[in-house]
Amino acid sequence: MGIRGIEMTEKLKVIYMGTPDFAVPPLKRLIADGYDVRLVVTQPDKARDRGKKVQATPVKAAALEAGIEVAQPEKVKNNAEFFEEIKEIAPDIIIVAAYGKILPKYVLDYPKYGCVNAHGSILPKYRGASPIQRAIIDGEKVTGITAMYMAEGLDTGDIIKIYPCDITPDDDFGSLHDKLANLAGVAMCDVIDMTENGTITRTKQDDEKSSYAAKIEKEDTVIDFTKNAEDIVNLVRGLSPAPLAVTRTPDGKLLKLTHARLSDMAKTDNAGEVAALSDKGEGEIVLSCGDGCISVTGVVPEGKKPMKSADYIRGRRISVGDILKY
C-alpha cells in the first residue's frame, strides 16, 4: 500500500498544466513512462510570429499527438465550467510546468495529493517569471529544477526535492532551457513515484534567502559597455537566442548580439568602441568594455536574419574605431 491507501497496482490520475516549449519534455516523459495523464490544460491558442497565424501551444500539440484530451480555459479564476471539468476527472495530483497563470485556491486544494510545480531554479532563489535567464545573467554556476508544492504565493510553496544542473561557460538561455526542461520531466516522474510509494517529503522555503527573477523587459536587453566584460558576456548568453542583447551602430541601427566571449585584448579609451575586426572563420568583432574586451562572433543586424560576425564584417557594416551605444 502507498500513502493514504493507494494500491501499488493503481496509477495516480494526473492532470497536466503547461503551455510553452519548456513544458513539452515533462509531458512527453510522463506519457512515455506510462503515467495516467487524463487531461492536459494549456492556455488558449494565440496568433504567433509575424504572420499572426493562430497556432496551437506547444503543449497542446504534444497532447493531441498523444491522443490526450486538451482544455484551454480563457481564465482559471472564478471559472465554474473549468472546475467541473476538473471534478469530472477527479485527479489525484496536478502537475504544472510553466502554465503561465496563477492557479486559484480551489484548484490548488482539490487534488488529494496537491498541485506540484517544476520551477526552473534552486528555490528560494529566482522566484518569478525568468529564473533561467536571470541565473545566467547573474553569472551563476549552478541552477536546477525545484519540485515544489504550489501555494497561493508566487513560487513560495514547500520544496519536495531539488535537482541541480551545472551552468557551463558555453550555456546560453536556449541550451540551459532545454537541459532544465528535460530535468523537469525526471523530477515530475519522481514526484509521482514518491507520492505512490509514500516516500515524499516537504520542506518549507527560507523566505529570507529568496530572490525574484523579474520578467525580462526591453530595458534589460540594452548593453551598457561601461560594465565589465564578463557581465556583458553573461547578458548576451542569458538573452540568446531570444530576445537578445542589443546595442546600436553609429548610424543608429539596432545590432543584436547572439554569441560573445571574453577577449584577451586590452580595452580602449572608449566603452563600446570596436577595437578589432576579423573575418576569418566565424569572424570576430572585438568591443571595448569597462575592464577589458569581448569578442562577438554572431549578430543580428536590424531587419536582417542572424549571421556570423564574419559575414557582417564583409558587408562593411562596421569599422575599427566605431562606437556602439544604444
| Residue 50 pLDDT level (bands cut at 50, 70, 90) | low
What pLDDT shows up at residue 51?
A: 65
What pLDDT shows up at residue 316?
A: 83
pLDDT at 34 over 50: yes
| Residue 54 pLDDT level (bands cut at 50, 70, 90) | confident
Does the domain at residues 3-213 carry the CATH identifier 3.40.50.170? yes
| Residue 9 pLDDT level (bands cut at 50, 70, 90) | low
3-state SS, residue 7: coil
Q: pTM of the entire structure?
A: 0.94
User: In degrees rounded to 5, what are phi and psi of residue 248?
Assistant: -130, 145
Integer-rounded Cα Rg, in Å, for the chain is 23
Question: pLDDT over 70 for what percent of the chain?
Answer: 96
H helix intervals, 71-199: 80-89, 105-109, 131-137, 173-197
Contact present, 284 and 309 (Cβ < 8 Å): yes
In whole angstroms, give the CA distance from residue 295 to residue 194. 47
CA–chain centroid gap for 153, Å, is 20
Q: Reduce the secondary structure of 267-303 to three states and give it as a string.
A: CCCCCCEEEEEECCCCCEEEEECCCCEEEEEEEEECC
Ranges in the chain annotated CATH 3.40.50.170: 3-213
Nearest Cα to Cα of residue 321 among 279, 270, 283, 265: 270
Nearest Cα to Cα of residue 183 among 144, 150, 217: 144
In whole angstroms, give the CA distance from residue 26 to residue 186. 7
Question: In what helix (H) or strand (E) does residue 142 lie, and over which residues does it extend?
Answer: strand 142-149
In whole angstroms, give the CA distance from residue 292 to residue 214. 29
What pLDDT shows up at residue 317?
A: 82
pLDDT tens-digit series, residues 260-299: 999 999 999 999 999 999 999 999 999 999 999 999 999 9
pLDDT tens-digit series, residues 106-159: 999 999 999 999 999 999 999 999 999 999 999 999 999 999 999 988 899 999
pLDDT at 7 over 70: no
pLDDT tens-digit series, residues 77-95: 999 999 999 999 999 999 9
pLDDT at 1 over 60: no
Extract the C-alpha cell encoding 3.
Answer: 500513502
pLDDT at 185 over 70: yes
Contact present, 249 and 277 (Cβ < 8 Å): no
What pLDDT shows up at residue 5?
A: 43
In whole angstroms, give the CA distance from residue 153 to residue 102. 9
In whole angstroms, give the CA distance from residue 301 to residue 253. 8
Contact present, 129 and 154 (Cβ < 8 Å): no
Give 218-314's CATH code, choosing from 3.40.50.720, 3.40.50.10470, 3.10.25.10, 3.20.20.60: 3.10.25.10
What pLDDT shows up at residue 2?
A: 40
Determine the average pLDDT of the residues in 185-209: 97
Residue position matching grid coordinates 584577451: 264
What pLDDT shows up at residue 53?
A: 85
Ranges in the chain annotated CATH 3.10.25.10: 218-314
pLDDT at 4 over 50: no
